[in-house]
Amino acid sequence: MTIPTRARACASFASLATFTTLAACCMPAAAQSPTTQMPEGTTDVDISLIAALVPVSEGRSAMKMIVLPTMSAQWSNGIFAEPGEVGMQLSEDPMFKYGPRLTYGSRSRRADDREDKFSLGIEAGAFANYQLAHNIAFHSSVMYGGGEDRRGVRLHLGGGYGMRLTAHQSLNARAGMNVVNRGYMQSYFGISPEQAARSGKPAYRAGAGVKDIYLSLRWNVDLSTKYALTSGVSLSRLMGSAADSPLTDSPHNAALFTMLTYRW
């Protein structure tokens, strides 16, 4: 699906890294929506088509084009499903949301991995979001299960700001960072003695810390009551052990996207 020359139509085959990139710039998580405002017994469904230019993997300057059909749903009981994730909101407070969250998809690729093979990755954890004002929000999540040994821990912290431009246009900005444990960092940016012998690169021990920081801008246009067009850009920079890794060609990554959404 993520490679246009192969007709992969199932969203679950996309990598967790790709979904993370897209979520940061164009797919606000259902966990941020005020489910308690929905009438009891109702469901909101969005169907989208995304065209995006994203990094092949973190730390590599090469890019790839993806065309990705997606569907997301949200139920009045708090359950939500997005491409690559499912979860449930447990709070009835419209300003503070929290609950369990599960992400799935193809495991993220190392920068030195040139093979395009499928390996299922699943991370489980929880999220907590706080709506400071109608256009200012803070979001966080902690996930477990990443990395080669599936014991990686990833903490995400971020915030968002929205601004209405006209009656049918708005601009949104998000910024944040990801903090990971040593196991997670070593899996994607470290080089063991065995890997060094095979690749010819020096052995490298990656440590825990801030993996990356990002900034995204999103322009939203309501074409009608049913259709919306969203375009944007996401910029990120690897930090600490990730930026210093011999596997990293460039610590800077960028993603461009446009998305057409139909509200069911």
Q: Residue 184 belongs to a domain with what CATH number?
A: 2.40.160.40
Residue 225 Cα to chain centre, angstroms: 27
Q: 3-state DSSP call for residue 46?
A: strand
Full pLDDT tens readout for the chain, 264 residues: 333 333 333 333 445 555 555 655 555 543 444 444 678 888 999 999 999 999 888 888 889 999 989 999 999 999 999 888 999 999 989 899 999 999 988 777 777 776 656 677 899 999 999 999 999 999 999 999 988 888 899 999 999 999 999 999 999 999 999 999 999 999 999 999 988 988 889 999 999 999 999 999 999 999 999 999 999 999 999 999 999 999 999 999 999 999 999 998
Domain membership of residue 89 (yes or no) is: yes
Domain membership of residue 135 (yes or no) is: yes
pLDDT of residue 115: 63
pLDDT of residue 147: 86
Domain membership of residue 186 (yes or no) is: yes
pLDDT of residue 38: 75
* Total number of domains constituting the chain: 1
Could you list the residue range(s) of the whole structural domain that residue 179 is in?
A: 11-263
Rounded to whole angstroms, how far apart are CA atoms 260 and 254? Answer: 20
Instruction: Show Cβ contacts of residue 232 under 8 Å, excluding neighbours closer than 6 positions.
Output: 25, 26, 216, 217, 218, 219, 256, 257
Domain membership of residue 175 (yes or no) is: yes
